[in-house]
Structure 1
């Protein structure tokens, strides 16, 4: 019975049929959808990058130059002010009294001088007629000169008293923004006080102090010799420009402890995008590379031996190509070696790829 069943199975499934099924190759995997872009030549700005700190263009600690009671605080904390705007008022009455006293002393001396001049004229007339001694005439002449000198001293005292009175009206020395009030109204302030009344900072324009490695100094100096050097403050991820400015100066010595050189940039800062004390990344435009090979930065992959990209072959597969990469900025990578203009490279979907895999290529700007 078993033999009959086995014979029927063999007749129903002959051995050559089983061998033909086993010999069929597995179906190929579907192509991997990716986005591609062409390697293109273009002009690329070459940047030098460094970290910097924003500093106010001018900072003034406003202090009282005379002693007295702070009668009035005329500013609001954090408000913008112009040069000459009233910030505070100190009790002017003692200083006005001193000015009035000096003015009165001058008037008194002027009256004495006028009388002394009349007496001198009389003595001169009598001396000519022989009725007065020459010594008396000389003494009167000396008195007139003494009173004239005294009036000059009175004028100096008046000028000093006027200056002290003017100091009671405290105004902003610069255009800027006030900080936190350091003294409240009603307090007695002194010229010797260390803290002052308020700090005014100039925010427009504004400065940034940043550093670069010392080996980049030659590039910076070459750029400065060619004209105005543009700089930009960018966000921490390097993608968003915060403000644009120009390089103002390079420090006159290299910091030997860090091997860096300090530079100072100036930004108009009309929109207040930069703030004193803020840390920013600075990009300095050192040069423009002409007709260099570039790829989109998103095409770059990083391996143990450096950067590489997937290059599309003529048969629709991909291969790995190691690269020598120069600058990467603004989403564009400059390629010193590894690919040539016109080649197609993968810009999206690399995680599913390996050498020899077939792809379904779409342009990087085509809808997915």
Structure 2
């Protein structure tokens, strides 16, 4: 065993000596043979500036458009429809003729009652003439007091009958007027529920047509009950001018109209913890339609000279919101910030940033404090997208 160990040591020494003989004593330099240190390139990012501008403080809620007034037009007399004047979906004004009902039976009844009135008026004239004859004879004793009183009572009776006849005639004229059905309000007609030739009755369930008033129009929307105190304070401050409400399409791309907050519901919904609000809009372009769902934006106030950044600047971490600030030497550092609201791609920052600072708006994925960054223009990112959390989820690694 000792002999084998001795031979192994001798062989190792001989191998080292041979290597030293081949390479030479002066050819080995440990400093020059070390690998070069790699240079880390700057991280490509998109940059934005912190700007100062007036920012409206808004509350967004899902709303549904509701007609200002809705009326179901019904007939008040029975009869056959002679003519339908309106078209479905037509805009009508209050008092416009919509439907005519056969008036002949009501015209005949009116004429009959007018004849009864004329007859009673003739009887009254004759009774009055007889009374005028009896009064001179009463003084001379040729007519008794009873005859005069009886004649006077007959006159009073006929006068009462004439008043009743006139009341019946007035009723006949009203019923005759009901054969011409007019629009009770201005608005847009819906689908026609009857056709010409149909016999209609006042007790029909569906009516003839519905009319919806859409100018002005209302929007009902809900907001969390936690916003109620702030809303009430701002309503009191606004006074008669009211708070502005904007109606936007559901995708938030198109503003449909601008109106005013009208009122709050008198009860908070206990099931959802929300309060319902109503806003009125002039709807001059008729872009709001009853039953339509919209995004309602209540403008509480305007923040003067607010600090704003693109919404993509705001990042979320364990300690809350922060932004990557670009230093003058092109290195980055995370900066905690406070965000009041994020609306339509813009964040209102209340603390942590100052106007004019440069921040990273895209490419934050993989950034470390002290990293050097290089700004890329939007045109440069079309073929090579910047690294962020979304691109990492798609499989693009930095």
TM-score with structure 2 length normalisation? 0.84
Is the CA contact (8 Å cut-off) linking 1:239 and 1:330 kept in structure 2?
no
Is the CA contact (8 Å cut-off) linking 1:63 and 1:197 kept in structure 2?
yes
The residue correspondences of 1:252-263 to structure 2 (distance < 5 A) are 252-263=266-277
Partner of 2:160: 149
Specify every segment of 5 or more residues in structure 2 that has no aligned partner in the other structure, as ranges: 1-18, 383-398
Is the CA contact (8 Å cut-off) linking 1:204 and 1:269 kept in structure 2?
yes
Tell me, yes or no, if structure 1 residue 87 matches structure 2 residue 98: yes
Partner of 1:3: none
Partner of 2:82: 71
Which residue, out of 154, 172, 181, partners 2:192? 181
TM-score with structure 1 length normalisation? 0.90
Partner of 1:171: 182
Which residue, out of 274, 277, 280, partners 2:288? 274
d(CA) in 2 for partners of 1:233, 1:303: 34
The structure that is strand-richer by fraction is 1
CA 1:64–1:304 in structure 2 vs 1: closer, same or farther (change >3 Å)?
farther
Partner of 2:393: none
Specify every segment of 5 or more residues in structure 1 that has no aligned partner in the other structure, as ranges: 1-5
d(CA) in 2 for partners of 1:46, 1:72: 55
Partner of 1:15: 28
TM-superposed deviation, 1:306: 4.3
Whichever of the two has the greater Rg, that structure is 2
Is the CA contact (8 Å cut-off) linking 1:35 and 1:362 kept in structure 2?
yes
Per-residue displacement from partner, 1:313-360 (whole Å, max 9, x unpaired)?
Answer: 232122223332211124321123332333210123334644333222
Partner of 1:128: 139
d(CA) in 2 for partners of 1:354, 1:109: 107
Which residue, out of 214, 218, 239, partners 1:207? 218
Is the CA contact (8 Å cut-off) linking 1:347 and 1:364 kept in structure 2?
no
Aligned length: 363
TM-superposed deviation, 1:41: 3.5
Tell me, yes or no, if structure 1 residue 40 matches structure 2 residue 40: no
Partner of 2:121: 110
d(CA) in 2 for partners of 1:9, 1:319: 54
CA 1:150–1:355 in structure 2 vs 1: closer, same or farther (change >3 Å)?
same
d(CA) in 2 for partners of 1:342, 1:9: 66
Partner of 1:245: 259
Partner of 2:385: none
CA 1:111–1:356 in structure 2 vs 1: closer, same or farther (change >3 Å)?
same
d(CA) in 1 for partners of 2:112, 2:376: 92
TM-superposed deviation, 1:304: 5.7
Which residue, out of 350, 358, 362, partners 2:372? 358
TM-superposed deviation, 1:32: 3.3
TM-superposed deviation, 1:263: 1.3
TM-superposed deviation, 1:303: 4.6
CA 1:194–1:127 in structure 2 vs 1: closer, same or farther (change >3 Å)?
same
TM-superposed deviation, 1:19: 5.1
The residue correspondences of 1:254-333 to structure 2 (distance < 5 A) are 254-303=268-317, 306-333=320-347
d(CA) in 2 for partners of 1:14, 1:197: 110
Partner of 1:26: 38
TM-superposed deviation, 1:288: 2.1
Is the CA contact (8 Å cut-off) linking 1:68 and 1:190 kept in structure 2?
yes
- Mean Cα displacement is larger for which, 260-269 or 285-294? 285-294
Which residue, out of 139, 142, 148, partners 2:150? 139
Is the CA contact (8 Å cut-off) linking 2:250 and 2:293 kept in structure 1?
no
